[in-house]
């Protein structure tokens, strides 16, 4: 199967990166459902191509001649909002659709200025979008498509009350798509409140993302984790290492210890402003930083190709 077999418009296909020919499993399952304007509950792992699974068919259904916001994608973090927007931007530009990102950590006045461009497609974190709605600075009356991306993380991070409030500002006659990596019982129940007669698609079994991953477990005393990490770095000489840790303070503390040992390292967490976080991630991708220490909450907003090792502390 190729993307041309999925009834996508040639103008949409023209915006795809040249190396993309074959859809992933979740894309092959979800795109026909979205084009049929059915509600969808989709389960697939992070990195399986979910953004294009909902983004391509939605962009095809958005009217570029309308000045109104017609599609909204809600995501849990700023990083993921930027990532989703970036993944869809090339396709959107080619068919005359304007995408805007709305998230915290970015100057609100700047975002309001960008809204004057009259975007038709919005990628937002719930808190910032709700702030603008409360201030009556944005309207969602014309929205016909709503996506809850990483819905399990939206629930885990406590965004569901905000989402329920946002739903009161969006027409009930809409298409709703819910994408998640896992489906805890609480999310399954809440999903039924916002989905109408949804189709359910799962792509876990055939997802090839994790096929080549080797997992190892090291039993280390809590106070010895930094020393154990340093020993691993010395033993393996990895060019890039992504370390996940639970809190901002723990991330900064680990960075100090690694830096003292001569490791090029940087931290990535919610207390750093958006511009610095983006620059840090770019430095890591460019191999200017060997070790990137990130908090767990940012895990799904990080996209680095061919990463050799990930360590959970």
Residue 254: predicted pLDDT: 94
Q: Which residues of 95-134 are buried (b: 16+ CB within 10 A; e: fewer)?
A: eebbbbbbbbbbeeeebeeebeeebbbbbbbbebbbbbbe
Mean pLDDT of 130-146: 95
Token pair 């919005």: residue: 122
> What structural domains and CATH numbers belong to the chain?
3-202 (3.40.50.300), 222-312 (3.40.50.300)
Please give the pLDDT value at position 30.
Answer: 96
pLDDT in tens, 12-65: 999 988 778 889 999 999 999 999 999 999 998 877 889 999 999 999 999 999
pTM of the model: 0.72
The pLDDT, as a whole number, for residue 201 is 94
Please compute the mean of the pLDDT values over residues 67-90 and round it to a whole number: 92
Amino acid 308: pLDDT: 87
User: Stretch 79-95: mean pLDDT, rounded?
Assistant: 90
The better pLDDT of the pair 82, 129 is held by 129
What value does the mean pLDDT take over residues 163-174?
95
Q: What is the pLDDT of residue 304?
A: 78
State the average pLDDT over residues 118-143. 95
The pLDDT value given to residue 206: 45
**How far are the Cα atoms of 106, 128, 157, 202, 269 from residue 162, in angstroms, in the given order?**
19, 10, 11, 27, 22
Tokens 């014309």 -> residue: 142
pLDDT in tens, 196-226: 999 999 986 544 445 567 889 999 998 899 9
In angstroms, the CA 125 to CA 301 distance is: 12
Report the distance separating Cα 296 and Cα 120, nearest Å: 32
Backbone dihedral region for residue 178 (phi beyond 0: left; psi -120 to 50: alpha; all else: beta):
beta
Is the pLDDT at 300 greater than 70? The verdict is no
Position 200 scores a pLDDT of 93
In the predicted structure, residue 143 carries a pLDDT above the cut 50: yes
Query: Contact at 8 Å (CB) between 274 and 78?
Result: yes
Q: What is the mean pLDDT of the chain?
A: 89
Average pLDDT over residues 284-307: 80
pLDDT in tens, 92-130: 999 999 999 999 878 888 899 999 999 999 999 999 999
Decide if 6 contacts 31 (C-beta within 8 A): yes
Beta strand pairing status for 199-202 and 121-124? unpaired
pLDDT of residue 298: 61
Residue 139 tokens, joined? 């309207």
- What are the residues whose beta carbons fall under 8 Å from the beta carbon of 70, sequence distance 6 or more? 62, 63, 120, 121, 142, 143, 144, 145
pLDDT at 237: 86
């Amino acid at each position: 199967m190729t993307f041309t077999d999925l009834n996508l418009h040639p103008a949409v296909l023209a915006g795809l990166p040249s190396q993309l020919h074959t859809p992933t499993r979740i894309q092959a399952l979800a795109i026909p459902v979205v084009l049929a304007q059915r509600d969808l509950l989709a389960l697939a792992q992070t990195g399986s191509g979910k953004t294009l699974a909902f983004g391509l068919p939605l962009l095809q259904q958005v009217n570029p001649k309308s000045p109104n916001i017609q599609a909204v994608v809600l995501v849990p973090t700023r990083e993921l909002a930027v990532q989703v927007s970036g993944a869809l931007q090339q396709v959107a530009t080619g068919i005359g659709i304007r995408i805007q990102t709305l998230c915290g950590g970015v100057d609100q006045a700047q975002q309001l200025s960008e809204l004057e461009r009259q975007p038709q497609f919005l990628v937002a974190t719930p808190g910032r979008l709700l702030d603008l709605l409360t201030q009556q600075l944005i309207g969602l009356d014309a929205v016909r498509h709503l996506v809850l991306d990483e819905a399990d993380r939206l629930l885990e991070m406590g965004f569901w009350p905000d989402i329920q409030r946002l739903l009161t500002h969006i027409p009930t006659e809409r298409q709703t798509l819910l994408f998640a990596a896992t489906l805890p019982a609480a999310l399954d129940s809440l999903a039924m409140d916002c989905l109408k007669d949804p189709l359910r698609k799962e792509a876990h079994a055939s997802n090839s993302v994790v096929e080549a991953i080797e997992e190892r477990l090291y039993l280390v005393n809590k106070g010895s984790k930094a020393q154990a990490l340093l020993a691993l770095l010395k033993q393996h000489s990895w060019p890039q290492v992504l370390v996940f840790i639970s809190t901002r303070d723990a991330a900064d503390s680990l960075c100090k210890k690694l830096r003292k040992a001569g490791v090029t390292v940087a931290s990535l967490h919610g207390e750093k402003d958006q511009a610095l976080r983006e620059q840090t991630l770019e430095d890591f991708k460019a191999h200017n930083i060997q070790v990137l220490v990130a908090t767990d909450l940012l895990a799904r907003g990080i996209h680095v190709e061919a990463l050799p090792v990930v360590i959970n502390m």
